[in-house]
Amino acid sequence: MHNNNLSRRFGRALAAACAIALSFGLAACGSGKSDNSGKSADSSNGIQMAGVKATGEPGKKPKITFHTPMSVVNSSYAVLQKGNGATIKKNNHVCVQAVALNAKDGSEMMSTWEKNTPDCSMVMNEQGINKTYYDVLKSQKINSTVAFGINDKNNAKTSYIMALTLVSQSKPITRAEGDKVTDVPANLPKVTLGKNGAPSIDFNGYKPGNDLVVQPLIKGKGKKVAETDTIDAHYTGWVMGQDGKPSKFDSSWDKGKVANFPLQNVVAGWKQGLAGQTVGSQVLLVIPPALGYGNQAQAKIPANSTLYFVVDILYDYGETQQSGQ
């Protein structure tokens, strides 16, 4: 059985340590009793898994074999195929194809290979994925296949082998990269950038209306964003102050950290404005109150405010993973 929900979620399992299991309605791996250290009593710290093999060309869907039924220990692993590409670099985004096999009978539970839908949610550092998995994956090369054992303590007692093939990596960008848009209407607010890429804004006498304004300032060459996606972005937001000048109410640049969020969880003006834009782009958004916070005042944002944003789209993780689905 090919489980599309599992296919979309397996990358989250590395980051959240076993969200994969939730896709099956199973208990999360490592769900056994905890000892005083807070670690799961049935969890190992990177024990090598014996008896699992893979054949086939590196970078293509592997044929995974093992003796069944197989007893699986959490966080156990086996490097099944050595890659023939570049070594994975720290902090890079890594895309992986996956196949999950039932440890009881070897049947295939999920595969991303047939529809070519790799998960690119993995960030190669200890904040991006579980440390045990990071320690195994950090020295691998592109086209390597690594298997992880996942043991679930639940009524179905479903344990499985998740085989991940590292198919590509990309260096994260820290600001918009692409072609500067030259035909920006002259009456729109003017945006200038600091040396690090942080924006400032001049309202330029602009009189906002009731419609959403979406104006690309830099056109990136990356993936097109969908309104169901989760993205990384740098942004700054302003409202008009009592003096008629821009009043900044929030900025990821000031926090020194890229923001990560699902477009499903932001104001409608963001979701509508960023959907269809491409990774690497910088976009000016002028959001009327009806697509912002309406008559509800927020911290530093008066009720019925028009919102002005400059957003750099830095990465697209794909479809948002809603809990419980």
Given this structure, which CATH class describes domain 4-170? alpha beta
The C-alpha atoms of residue 177 and residue 170 are separated, in whole angstroms, by 14
pLDDT at 152 over 80: no
* 322 vs 40 pLDDT, higher one: 322
Which range has highest mean pLDDT (42-56, 148-162, 232-246)? 232-246
Q: State the number of CA atoms in the 13 A half-sphere of 210 facing the CB.
A: 1
Please tell me the predicted confidence (pLDDT) of residue 156: 58
Q: Cβ–Cβ contacts within 10 Å for residue 265, how many?
A: 11
Domains 4-170 and 179-319 share a fold: yes
Q: DSSP letter at 179?
A: E
Please tell me the predicted confidence (pLDDT) of residue 15: 40
**Which 3 state secondary structure label does DSSP give 135?**
helix
Of the listed ranges 15-19, 101-105, 128-132, 228-232, the least confidently predicted one is 15-19
Please tell me the predicted confidence (pLDDT) of residue 86: 97
pTM over cut 0.85? no
The C-alpha atoms of residue 98 and residue 302 are separated, in whole angstroms, by 48
Compute the average pLDDT of residues 281-290.
98
pLDDT in tens, 208-226: 999 999 999 999 999 999 9
Cβ atoms of 298 and 289 closer than 8 Å: no
Bridge partners for 53 per DSSP: 65
The C-alpha atoms of residue 271 and residue 268 are separated, in whole angstroms, by 5
Compute the average pLDDT of residues 228-248.
97
Please tell me the predicted confidence (pLDDT) of residue 132: 83
Of the listed ranges 98-102, 153-157, 182-186, 292-296, the least confidently predicted one is 153-157
* Residue 34 Rama label (left phi>0; alpha psi -120 to 50; beta): beta
Q: DSSP letter at 40?
A: B
How is residue 113 written in tokens? 């290979």
pLDDT band at 3 (very low <50, low <70, confident <90, very high): very low
The C-alpha atoms of residue 196 and residue 189 are separated, in whole angstroms, by 20
pLDDT in tens, 15-42: 433 333 333 333 333 333 333 333 333 3
Q: Average pLDDT of the chain? A: 85
Please tell me the predicted confidence (pLDDT) of residue 27: 32
179-319 folds as Chitinase A; domain 3 (3.10.50)
* 29 vs 156 pLDDT, higher one: 156
Listed in sequence order, the DSSP H helices in 200-315 are 252-255, 268-274
The percent of residues above 90 in pLDDT, for the chain, comes to 72
Q: Cβ–Cβ contacts within 10 Å for residue 141, how many?
A: 16
**Which 3 state secondary structure label does DSSP give 290?**
helix
Q: How far is CA 73 from the centre of its chain?
A: 27
Residue ranges per domain, the chain?
A: 4-170, 179-319
